[in-house]
Chain A
Amino acid sequence: MELKDRLGKEVILFDGAMGTVLQQRGLKAGDVPEKLNIEKSKEIVEIHKSYLKAGAEILTTNTFGANALKMEEIDYSVEEVISAAVENARRAVVESGIEAAVALDMGPLGELLEPMGSLTFDEAYNLYQQQVLVGVEAGADLIHIETIADLYEARAAVLAAKENSNLPVFCTLTFEEDGRTFTGGSIRSMISVLEGLGVDGIGLNCSLGPEKLEPLVEEVLQYSKLPVIMQANAGLPVMENGETVFKISPAEYFKPLARLYEKGLAVIGGCCGTNEEFISLIAENLKNKKVKEREVIKESLVCSPSQSVDLAGVNVVGERINPTGKAAFKDALRNGDLDYILKVAVEEVDAGANILDVNIGLPDIDEKEIMVRLIKELQGILDVPLQIDSSDPEVIEAALRYYNGTAIVNSVNGEAEVLEKTLPAVKKYGAAVIGLTMDDNGIPDTAAGRFAVAERIVNKAAEFGISRDKIIIDCLTLTASAQQEGVKETLKALNMVKEKLGVKTTLGVSNVSFGLPARPVLNRTFLSMALYQGLNLPIIDPNDNEMMADVKAAAVLNNIDQGAADYIEYMAETENKSGSANSAKEIKNESEEKDLQSVIIKGLKSEAARLTEAVLKEKKAIEVVNEYLIPALDIVGERYEKGEIFLPQLVQSAETVKEAFAVLKAEMARTGGRDISKGKIIMATVKGDVHDIGKNIVKTVLENYGYQIIDLGKNVNIKEIVSTVKVNKIKLLGLSALMTTTVKNMEKTIKKVREICPETKIMVGGAVLTADYADMIEADFYARDAKEAAEIAKQIFE
């Protein structure tokens, strides 16, 4: 029987360790084991053979680190190493006459991916793709991705494997004892994401011995419907005379495996410290045995690596990342000012949103490019799962590719063309999807009509292999003032799809009250009615405390929030928040700051907006800038120069001024007054560098002086900087780098900008830079600190 047919039915045995065996045979610490595929192929074949004799049915090639990043350090190419490695495993099979499959082994790349590291998702994908292509060509039978600690990296590897081969794909991650990976990933998120991507086997390896790994593997067995793989270390290593020693015996190693076999473990092998004796003992006991049946707990999860949400409950989807009807939001999008949007997102999460809807649909922007950037930024700072909201299938596909988790797609509807174009990506990335109960003929008037559309969507999704637990139906809220009789039909339809189709439900709520007075009353009442009918995902503004409270209360009354635990916690937190706001007020009252200028000098950020509004009643915006903000900044600057205050205080004052500016900008937009911006400056931390604080300090101070900053963030590639400079006809570009190694990229960036935009002036700063160094890399200016950067800007713009 073929491996793929046996998988999940009979126990399949992997081999044991390669790396630690090679070390025992004299491989030096720090040396690259993959080169031995070529230099000592006989020895590698021997190790493979020993595992075959012990009973292994899958041989893992000696290619754990055989990616182009690591192979740079030796004299062989990825092609040479992987071809030799697959050949070695094949030879062992032929020479020993024992049948076995050959698994192309792919370990972590050795560099951390964005946003924590500087390796991009595409770079990671390309590295894995190269390995897969060579492995397929060399004749591997399956692809085994292992010891991965970052779910994003696992996604890159799995996608590379699935898109470039037809081989079965296994993927195992490595966890610490607390059930988290080094990057914070959870077991449930791993299951959700990897099952979504369609791997053939899932599990855990390395890091711990089998006993410590046992409860974690049990969790996988409880929640994953896929065949479960386990490759534990031979216990925790001990250092003896400078050597790593594993002390556990094969018999001890086997005990937890025997227990897990009873619970349904399907694929077993060994990791660091194991050898053929371990595999032999497992083979004696379990080889060819039937995999035990198990109950799998069904969930409908969407997730980020560290946080998952079961759609079966009631969860709030934040609606505020959406430009519709918001001038400031639109401006931010057009200017590429993602910070504005990130702040909206942070507020929503702070207010209790469980999922964030992400909609940036504007006709005059590159929606795909900005969506991808925004997704990366959001997942860099927040842990809530995202809901990709777009009508463009290309945007959806791109967002799903770069999203590190299981997302919701918002949305498809009953139109055949929409379904055909969007569902393939939903399936490929394992996303959940919202189906709107409308089609080419519009929204059906009756509940029965909407139910029919929902049923059509469910059936079509099934054709694409998307199961009902991934489907969310939106029965569409109608406006009571215009279609009063339709409101009840929506609620009726909601109940029908829930009961008869067994899918989850969502609704945008606030539409219901359009055109009527006291809208919040109607919104809340409608929300309560919908929750009673079984609404799972209300899409609302989470900053609306009363709506939030309604959701929490309904979850108690509907017997969803067991023991009212979530309700009690939420109410305690709300109490707490308003309590701390009161006490904060008291501190302010004591300090009796009524004057905008002294508020800025003291850096009392939360007071700035209110006082600016007060001053605006009597003064024009530009007068506020000249009479309050600039003089206050001058005083702060002077004190800083004299050493009376220090950098954190300077920055605190700068952030206070920023709050005041926000009020002024809104006022200008309202009254259509002259723009107070003195000019646009681009700021970026160069490629390879992820230290961003210095640049952010400079940015904050420059904003204070009235410049509009386009902040491209950290680890920014040259192309992006050049194109943004060009599009915005930028006069001044500020670049930051912390390390000597990344100053090289600064130099390259400067060269490229000079080529394309010779008019643009460039200032540079960062820990290792000096005026001489800045000269050497041909920057126009060296800014020692934020104050100097402001002076340089003044020179350019005034």
Chain B
Amino acid sequence: MELEIERTEVLRYLQTSKDLKDDNINRLIKEATAEIKDLINFRYLYRKFPIKLNEDGVKVRGTTLTLKGKSIKKHLSNSKEIYIMAATLGAQVDKKISYYEKVSVTKSMIFDACATTAIEAGCDQVEKEIKEKVLAAGNEAITFRYSPGYGDLGIDIQKEILRILNAPKKIGLTASKYNMLHPTKSVTAIIGVIAEKGEEEQQSQENLNSVRKDDNLEERDLEFESRHCQNCLLYEDCELRRKGIYCGAKG
């Protein structure tokens, strides 16, 4: 799977202006984009599970896993099935970022931003693949990707998610005892299957209404915030959001 690394996305992760006019930086981005492609070993997995909403959150049937918290319950309130996915760029990318940290911090920052762009682009493609399956099975839609760490869904389920997918063995993706994913440029996520759309639309309208309309409205994407940022614990105080810079997947 060829991953597209878009310059505008890289600049977004570097938190610069969209039309950065620095020749050196722009050259480094070009070089890093080319170099990283040879190092990426994109691997992914996903599996479908039926779910059941209960008191604590969402029980993933046929597994040991319960997704705990209000936010994930809300996210999956219109779903009876979910896909759990995991994806990684592999260990060589991490090694190269470490390498550039010793050679040039500027280069390592740029390489890191290119890697983040690549893994998000990879996840977008996996999501697309899942969406096609879901629609082909006669469903209406899917929810966006929801990862451990969003809202009140803890990251302490990383290991269990990886185990359910057999991810360490199949794609070399592991979690440390601090629940960090290794290789670091990796994602786990949950996608809900929406059989009928009606309620979802109503829900998203409600979400849109409750987005904070505090600062800098012309630079911001309120619709994106309603779907993504609102679930984040840092939503209220996020300085990036106020500037219209978003850290999650914005495609």
With A603-B24, A649-B22, A693-B112 given, is the CB distance from A119 to B176 under 8 Å?
Answer: yes
A28:B64 contact, CB within 8 angstroms: yes
Q: Does A239 contact B (CB under 8 A)?
A: yes
Q: Is B159 an interface residue (CB 8 A)?
A: yes
Q: Is there a chain A Cβ closer than 8 Å to B216's Cβ?
A: no
Contact with A along B147-179 (1 / 0, CB 8 A): 000000001000110011000111110111111
Q: Nearest residue in B to A744 (C-beta to C-beta)?
A: B178
B63, B94, B168 interface centre (most CB from chain A within 10 Å): B168
Complex Cα distance, B164 from A690, in Å, reads 25
Nearest B residue to A241, CB-CB: B48
Q: Does B202 contact A (CB under 8 A)?
A: no
Q: Which of A29, A108, A740 contacts B63 (CB 8 A)?
A: A29
B34 within 8 A of A: no
Question: In angstroms, how far is the closest chain A Cβ from the Cβ of B12?
Answer: 11
CB of B212 closer than 8 Å to a CB of A: no
Q: Which of A50-58, A339-347, A448-456, A460-468 participates in binding chain B?
A: A339-347
Asked if residues B109 and A28 are in contact (CB atoms below 8 Å), the reply is: no
Cβ of B1 within 8 Å of any chain A Cβ, yes or no, is: no
Bound Cα distance from A691 to B186, whole angstroms: 13
CA A183 – CA B22 in complex, angstroms? 35
- Enumerate A89-129 residues with CB–CB distance to B below 8 Å: 108, 110-112, 115-119
- Select one of B25, B172, B180 contacting A689, CB under 8 A: B180
**B97 contacts partner chain A, Cβ-Cβ < 8 Å:** yes
Q: If A647-B14, A655-B105, A697-B105 touch, does A688 touch B180 (CB 8 Å cutoff)?
A: yes
Contact with B along A621-649 (1 / 0, CB 8 A): 00000000000000000000000011111
Is B110 engaged at the interface, CB distance under 8 Å to the other chain? yes
Cβ of B103 within 8 Å of any chain A Cβ, yes or no, is yes
Report Cα–Cα, A381/B97, bound state, in Å.
Answer: 9
Shortest beta-carbon distance from B138 to chain A in Å: 16
Residue pair B101, A692 in contact (C-beta under 8 Å): yes
B3 contacts the other chain (CB 8 A): no
A604 at the interface (CB under 8 A from B): yes
- Asked if B184 is at the interface of the complex by the 8 Å CB criterion, the answer is yes
A739 within 8 A of B: yes
| Bound CA span A342–B65, Å | 44
Decide yes or no: A149 and B172 within 8 Å by CB, A647-B14, A648-B106 being known contacts: yes
- A239-B130 Cα distance, complex, nearest whole Å: 13
Contacts known (A651-B109, A655-B105); A118 close to B24, Cβ less than 8 A:
no
Residue of B nearest to A654 (CB): B105
Question: How does the 8 Å CB contact mask read for B201-215 relative to A, with 1 for contact and 0 for none?
Answer: 000000000000000
In the complex formed, the residue of A with least CB distance to B163 is A30
Is B128's CB within 8 Å of the partner chain A?
no
Contact, CB under 8 Å: A739 / B182? no
Looking at B15, B43, B92, the one whose CB has the most chain A CB atoms below 10 A away is B92
Closest chain A residue to B101, Cβ basis: A696
For the complex, what is the distance from the CA of A324 to the CA of B91, rounded to whole Å? 36
CB of A75 to closest CB in B, whole Å: 14
CA distance A742 to B106 in the complex (A): 25
Give the contacting residue for B180; candidates A149, A700, A741; CB below 8 A.
A741
Indicate which residue in B164, B183, B237 contacts A112 across the interface (CB closer than 8 Å). Answer: B183
What is the bound-complex CA distance between A184 and B39, given in angstroms? Answer: 10
A176 contacts which chain B residues (CB < 8 A)? 41
Task: Tell me the bound Cα distance from A119 to B182 in angstroms.
Answer: 11
Residues of B within 8 A of A (CB): 14-17, 20, 22-25, 41, 43, 47-49, 62-65, 90-92, 94-95, 97-99, 101-106, 108-110, 112, 155, 159-160, 163-164, 168-172, 174-180, 182-184, 237
What are 29 A-B contacts with C-beta separation under 8 Å? A29-B47, A29-B63, A30-B63, A30-B64, A30-B164, A31-B63, A31-B64, A73-B159, A112-B176, A112-B183, A343-B103, A380-B95, A602-B24, A605-B104, A646-B14, A647-B14, A647-B109, A648-B22, A649-B16, A652-B24, A654-B105, A688-B177, A689-B180, A690-B184, A692-B101, A696-B108, A697-B105, A741-B180, A742-B180
